[in-house]
A and B are shown apart, each in its own frame.
Chain A
Amino acid sequence: MSKTIKDRILEALRNSSAEYCEIRVEESEDTSVSFRGKDIDRVSQTVSVGGNVRALKDGGWGFVSFNRLEDLPRKVEEACAQARLLGEKLKKEIKLYPVDPVEDDVPGEFKKPAFSVPLRDKVKILEDYNRLILESPEITSSFVSYSDKHSHIYFANTDGTYIHQEKMDLSGVLTAIASRDNLSTQDRVTFGSNSDFDVILGLEDRVREAARIAREALYAPVIEAGEYTVILDPDMAGLFVHEAFGHLSEADSLDEDERMKELLKIGTRYGTEELDIYDSGIEGGNRGESRYDDEGVPMQKTYLIKGGVIVGHLHSRESAWKMGEKPTGNARAISYRFPPIVRMRTTCIAPGKHSFDEMLKGISLGVYVKGGYGGQTNGEMFTFAASRAYMIRNGAVAELVRDVNLTGNVFTTLQNIDMIGNDFTYKNSAGGCGKGWQSPLPVAQGSPHIRIQKVVIGGDRR
Chain B
Amino acid sequence: MMVVEESKKRGIESCLVSQESRTTMLNFEFNRLKNIQDSEDVNHAVQVIRDGRLGLFTTTEADLTADFLDRAIELSQFGPAVDYHFPDPEDPGAPLIFDPRVRDMSLDTMMTLGEELIDFAKSLDPAANGSARIIKIHTKKSVQNSRGLSSSWEKTEFSVVLAVDFVEGQNLLQVSDFCTSTHLEYDLEGLKAQVKRDFDLARKNVPLSPGTYPVLFTPGAFMDLIMPILACLDGKAVVRQVSPLKGRLGESIFSPLLTIVEDGILDKGTGSNLYDDQGVRCRRTFLVEKGILREYLLDLETACKLGRKPTGTGKISRIAPNNLLVLPQDLSWKDMLKGIKRGVIIKDTMGAWAGNPYSGQVTGNIALGFLVEDGEPVGRVKDCMFSVNVFKHLKDNLVSLSRETKYTYGNALLPYALVDGVSIAAKT
- Contact check, A86 vs B36: say whether CB atoms are below 8 A apart: yes
- The answer to whether the Cβ of B167 comes within 8 Å of any Cβ in the partner chain is yes
Chain A residues within an 8 Å CB radius of B127: 259
Those of B166-199 within 8 Å (CB) of chain A: 167-168, 170-172, 174
- Contact check, B242 vs A141: say whether CB atoms are below 8 A apart: yes
Q: Known A257-B30, A383-B350; judge A456-B384 contact (CB<8 A).
A: yes
- Contact check, A259 vs B382: say whether CB atoms are below 8 A apart: no
- The answer to whether the Cβ of A101 comes within 8 Å of any Cβ in the partner chain is no
Chain B residues within an 8 Å CB radius of A182: 244, 391
Chain A residues within an 8 Å CB radius of B364: 383, 405, 458
Chain B residues within an 8 Å CB radius of A39: 80-81
- Contact check, A403 vs B35: say whether CB atoms are below 8 A apart: no
Q: Known A45-B71, A67-B60; judge A184-B351 contact (CB<8 A).
A: no
Contact of A49 among B60, B353, B423 (CB under 8 A): B60
Instruction: Report the minimal beta-carbon distance from B305 to chain A, rounded to whole angstroms.
Output: 10
Chain A residues within an 8 Å CB radius of B80: 39-43
- Contact check, A381 vs B350: say whether CB atoms are below 8 A apart: yes
Chain A residues within an 8 Å CB radius of B75: 43-45, 119
- The answer to whether the Cβ of B426 comes within 8 Å of any Cβ in the partner chain is yes
Residue of B nearest to A243 (CB): B351
Residue from A33, A82, A140, A456 whose CB has the most chain B CB atoms within 10 Å: A456
- The answer to whether the Cβ of A123 comes within 8 Å of any Cβ in the partner chain is yes
- B-side interface mostly: strand
- Contact check, B355 vs A458: say whether CB atoms are below 8 A apart: no
- The answer to whether the Cβ of B284 comes within 8 Å of any Cβ in the partner chain is no
The CA of A165 and the CA of B80, in the complex, are separated in Å by 35
- Contact check, A82 vs B60: say whether CB atoms are below 8 A apart: no
For this complex, into which size category does the number of interface residues on chain B fall?
35 or more
The CA of A107 and the CA of B58, in the complex, are separated in Å by 26
The CA of A120 and the CA of B78, in the complex, are separated in Å by 7
Residue of B nearest to A62 (CB): B36
Please tell me which stretch of B37-45, B147-155, B266-274 contacts chain A, meaning at least 4 of its Cβ atoms lie within 8 angstroms of it. B37-45
- Contact check, A36 vs B240: say whether CB atoms are below 8 A apart: yes
Those of A415-439 within 8 Å (CB) of chain B: none
The CA of A303 and the CA of B212, in the complex, are separated in Å by 43
Chain B residues within an 8 Å CB radius of A263: 167, 170
- Contact check, A380 vs B60: say whether CB atoms are below 8 A apart: no
Residue of B nearest to A403 (CB): B361
Instruction: Report the minimal beta-carbon distance from B383 to chain A, rounded to whole angstroms.
Output: 5
- Contact check, A378 vs B172: say whether CB atoms are below 8 A apart: yes
- The answer to whether the Cβ of A158 comes within 8 Å of any Cβ in the partner chain is no
The CA of A377 and the CA of B365, in the complex, are separated in Å by 10
Chain A residues within an 8 Å CB radius of B58: 44-47
- Contact check, B211 vs A461: say whether CB atoms are below 8 A apart: yes
Residue from B29, B111, B212, B423 whose CB has the most chain A CB atoms within 10 Å: B423
Instruction: Report the minimal beta-carbon distance from B365 to chain A, rounded to whole angstroms.
Output: 4
The CA of A246 and the CA of B9, in the complex, are separated in Å by 56
Residue of A nearest to B423 (CB): A461
- Contact check, A337 vs B39: say whether CB atoms are below 8 A apart: yes
- Contact check, A256 vs B30: say whether CB atoms are below 8 A apart: yes
- Contact check, B167 vs A257: say whether CB atoms are below 8 A apart: yes
Instruction: Report the minimal beta-carbon distance from B237 to chain A, rounded to whole angstroms.
Output: 8
- Contact check, B423 vs A459: say whether CB atoms are below 8 A apart: yes
Instruction: Report the minimal beta-carbon distance from B71 to chain A, rounded to whole angstroms.
Output: 7
Residue of A nearest to B387 (CB): A458
Chain A residues within an 8 Å CB radius of B363: 385, 403, 405, 458-459
Contact of A456 among B30, B243, B426 (CB under 8 A): B426
- The answer to whether the Cβ of A374 comes within 8 Å of any Cβ in the partner chain is yes
Chain B residues within an 8 Å CB radius of A141: 240-242
Chain B residues within an 8 Å CB radius of A382: 350, 365
Chain B residues within an 8 Å CB radius of A225: 210, 385, 387, 423-425
- The answer to whether the Cβ of B331 comes within 8 Å of any Cβ in the partner chain is no
- Contact check, B60 vs A63: say whether CB atoms are below 8 A apart: no
- The answer to whether the Cβ of B359 comes within 8 Å of any Cβ in the partner chain is yes
Instruction: Report the minimal beta-carbon distance from A92 to chain B, rounded to whole angstroms.
Output: 7
- The answer to whether the Cβ of B356 comes within 8 Å of any Cβ in the partner chain is yes
Give 10 A-B pairs besides A60-B33, A67-B40, A461-B212 with Cβ atoms closer than 8 angstroms.
Answer: A33-B78, A39-B80, A42-B317, A44-B56, A62-B35, A68-B40, A256-B129, A408-B383, A456-B385, A456-B427
Residues of A within 8 A of B (CB): 32-33, 36-37, 39-50, 60-68, 71, 78, 82, 85-86, 89-90, 92, 119-120, 123, 140-141, 177, 179, 182-186, 222, 225-227, 256-257, 259-260, 263, 337, 339, 372-385, 402-403, 405, 407-409, 411, 454, 456-461
